[in-house]
Amino acid sequence: MKFSEILCQFGDAATNHSLTSNPDHDPEITGVGAIDEASNGTLSYVEGAKFGSFVGKTNATALILPQDEKLQVLAQERGIVWIATADPRLLFAKAIALFYQPYRPIPEIHSTAVIDSTAKIGSDVYIGPHAVIQQGVEIGNDAIIHPNVVIYPDVQIGDRTILHANCTIHERSRIGADCVIHSGAVIGAEGFGFVPTRTGWFKMEQSGYTVLEDGVVVGCNSGIDRPAVGETRIGHNTVIDNLVQIGHGCQIGAACAIAGQVGMAGGVQLGNRVILAGQTGIVNQVKMGDGSMTSAQTGIHSDVAPGEVVCGSPALPYKLYLKVAAVYGRLPDMYQSLKQLQRKLKNSDD
């Protein structure tokens, strides 16, 4: 694919580029690659000035650059064609899609799939080997059900949703359109609901619903639990990494990003565009406002205001956390100073 053809695919996002000043230098681009691993014929990107030094040593033939004139001149001097944009990473993500499309099976129902007679299957659906679809299930058009998927009774799957191999969808789950559920994920399993009694734990039946709105992505081996009553809801366009636990009755807003090994107890509420870094833990019933964010391994025990960034365990506001962290590193010296002061006071008393 010629560099000029890639520019055409990008449309208005690629109005600033090297062909404007040098239209004859229009090389063939055969793929994409990381800036430090790129080879001749590949397209790569530089996200900002922090990584600008790579422009002087990369083997890439084409680069997506920030709006930085110095980097553009350097690329030009090295014979690298370039595109400048306000968001290089986003444009690079679109470039990958020009050279790679994930595997998509041809619509068919495999002979080994077990499908209850009451299930309703849309048009152009793929159902792979040994998939199990139980009574009352509804699957939308163009959906993909990979091998060994198990769908319990009374489940609804929206159009174009993809269920990867070995994921399990429990009863009373409602999954919207254009969702992706990765291998090993479990949607709608019973929430952790037990009532203590003198003779042990009494199981509270989980009779509620688990709802994933349109465009939700759930990573491998993650679990989203069904509540006792009401619903657990994941807002549209929210993305969930691998090994995430979302407890019963949680309400997750739209366009949230939840990294690996995050754990939420029951009843947690996240606003829209909340970002949870890896291994964040949230106790039950906590609310996090729109646009709030955590750093890795944050422990949240109380509500977080909209737009606030919190760190540490227990969680502290970001600026306060930095001050505490600075003091923490000085604790050994402070301890020695305290011991010396105690000795002086003791000697003075003697």
Active site residues: 248
For the stretch 163-186, what's the b/e string if a residue is b when 16 or more beta carbons lie within 10 angstroms of its beta carbon?
Answer: bbbbbbbbbbbbbbbbbbbbbbbb
- Which of 203, 159, 154 is closest to 174 using CA atoms? 154
Question: Do the bridges between strand 138-139 and strand 120-121 make them parallel or antiparallel, or are there none, so unpaired?
Answer: parallel
- Which of 138, 180, 184, 140 is closest to 165 using CA atoms? 184
Would you give the DSSP letter of residue 11? G
Q: Is the dihedral of CA 290, 253, 260, 104 positive or negative?
A: negative
**From residue 219, how far is each of 101, 185, 247 by CA, in Å?**
19, 7, 16
The length of the chain is: 350
- How is residue 8 written in tokens? 């055409």
- Which of 242, 272, 280 is closest to 256 using CA atoms? 272
Q: Is the dihedral of CA 333, 339, 343, 345 positive or negative?
A: positive
**From residue 71, how far is each of 19, 37, 44, 129 by CA, in Å?**
16, 19, 14, 52
Give 318: exposed, middle or buried? Use CB within 10 Å, 0-12, 13-18, 19+.
middle
- With a CB cutoff of 8 Å and minimum separation 6, the contacts of 242 are 182, 219, 220, 221, 222, 260
